[in-house]
Amino acid sequence: MLILSIESSCDETAAAVIDGRRDNVRVLSNVVASQIAIHQKYAGVVPEIAAREHILNILPVINEALVKAGLDLKTAPKKLDAIAITTGPGLITSLMTGIETAKTLAYVWKLPIVSVNHIAGHIYANWIESESRESLVVSQNSKFPALILTVSGGHNLLVLMKNHLKFKIIGDTLDDAAGEAFDKAAKMLGLGYPGGPAIAAAAAGVGRPGVCRDPEIKLPRPMLNAANFNFSFSGLKTALLYALKKDKDWQKKIPAYAAEFQQAVIDVLIHKTIKAAQKYKVKTVMLSGGVSSNLELQKQFIAAFKNSYAPSDIRYPKADFRTDNAAMIGAAGYFMARAKKFTKWEKIKVDPNLPLK
Ligand code: KG4
Ligand code: ZN
C-alpha cells in the first residue's frame, strides 16, 4: 500500500512516501525541511514564523518526496493508495498548512485520506523497517501488549498498546515534557537550541558519557518513587536554576551540570518504564520521540531492561525517524488505512489538542 504522508505540526515541513506491507513499513522517500536554523536565534519555536515557513516549503517538499519515490504529479494519483496527514496535536497555524494541502490533493487526486495523531506517528516510527533496529529478539511481527515511552519537546507519555491502534495512556507529565526540560536547561547553561542535543554533547565531554564527575553536583529525580507512572520535570529545571545561582563557578562546570541533568531525566524515564512493564507484563518495550535520539538514554534503556525485566523485543526508531518527520505519519497512516480508518476530506479538521486514542 503506497501512502503519501504530510507533517507540519511544529517547525518541520515534511513529506514522505511509504510502502506498507503486512506488519512493516518501507520508506521510499522522507523529506524534511527543518526550520531549526531560523528559530535558533529566538531559542525556541516562534509560531508565526513557523507558519510562514510551512507555506513556503510545503509544495516543494511534497514534490521532492514524490520524485524521490519515483513518482510525479501525473503518476502519483494512479499509484498512491491514500494520503496521511497529521491533524494534531501541535501548533494550530502550523498544522493548518499541511491539512489544507492534504485535503486539496485528496480532492483533486480522488484519494482517501487518513487523519493521523502526531504522537501515534512517533510511536509507529518503530514499525519502519530498519537493519539497525536494536532488538533482543528480532521479530517481524509486533508482539502485544507493547509499552512505549514516547518523549519529545511537546509530550512525555507512557502508552500501553494491547494491539495495533489501541492506545492507552498510563503515564503523562504533570508539567514539562523531558524535551522541553532539556531545551530550558540548555538555555540556562547557555548551550543553545535545541537543548537536547546540546546537553547531550556537553555531557559527553565529562569522562564517561552521562556520568557526572563532580560529586558536589546533585539534582533531584522527581517523582521517582511516586505510586503512579506520571512524570514531572519542572522541579528539576528549577533545581538546576537554584544550583547555578548558588555556584559562582558554574560556568567552569557546564559539562558536569549537563551530565547530571541528563542523568536525572534518564533515571526517571527508565525507572518508571520498567515499573510499568512489570505491572502490565508487556512483551515489547519501545522508545520514541525526539528525546529517543539521546544515545545515553538508548544505551541505558536497553541495559536496564536486559538486567531487570527482559521483554522479548526492545526497539527504538532509526535515527531519521526519531525527531519530527513524515515517514512516521505514513507508518501510522498505513495501519489506519489497513483498518479502513479513513476520514472524508470535508471532515478533516485541525485539532491542536488532539488526544491519543
Ligand atoms: O519529536 P520532536 O522532534 O518534536 C516534538 O514533537 O516535540 O522532539 C524535539 C525534542 C526537543 O525538545 C529536543 O531538545 C529533543 O527532542 N531532543 C533531544 C535529543 N535530540 C532531540 N533530547 C535529548 N537528547 C537528544 N539527543
Ligand atoms: Zn514530534
Model pLDDT for residues 205-241, shown as the tens digit of each residue: 754 444 556 888 999 999 999 999 999 999 999 999 9
Question: Which ligand 1 atom lies nearest to the CA of residue 186?
Answer: 14
Q: C-alpha cell of 296?
A: 545515553
Q: What is the pLDDT of residue 140?
A: 55
Q: What is the pLDDT of residue 189?
A: 96
Q: What pLDDT digit, counting tens, does each position of 68-115 carry?
A: 999 998 999 999 999 999 999 999 999 999 999 999 999 999 999 999
Pocket probe for ligand 1: among 13, 152, 191, 300, the residue whose CB has the most ligand atoms within 8 Å is 152
Instruction: State the average pLDDT for the chain.
Output: 92
Distance CA 212, CA 200 (A): 12
Q: What is the pLDDT of residue 136?
A: 42
Residues with CB under 6 A from ligand 1: 10, 152-154, 179-180, 182-183, 194-197, 200, 289-291, 293-294, 323-324
- Ligand 2 is an ion; its neighbours by CB within 5 Å are 152, 324
Distance CA 159, CA 45 (A): 26
Percentage of the chain modeled with pLDDT above 70? 94
Specify the higher pLDDT residue, 114 or 40: 114
Question: Which ligand 1 atom lies nearest to the CA of residue 118?
Answer: 6
- The residue type at 165: L
Q: What pLDDT digit, counting tens, does each position of 132-170 carry?
A: 544 444 455 668 999 999 999 999 999 999 999 999 999
Q: What is the pLDDT of residue 282?
A: 96
pLDDT at 41 over 60: yes
Q: pTM for the complete prediction?
A: 0.94
pLDDT at 131 over 80: no
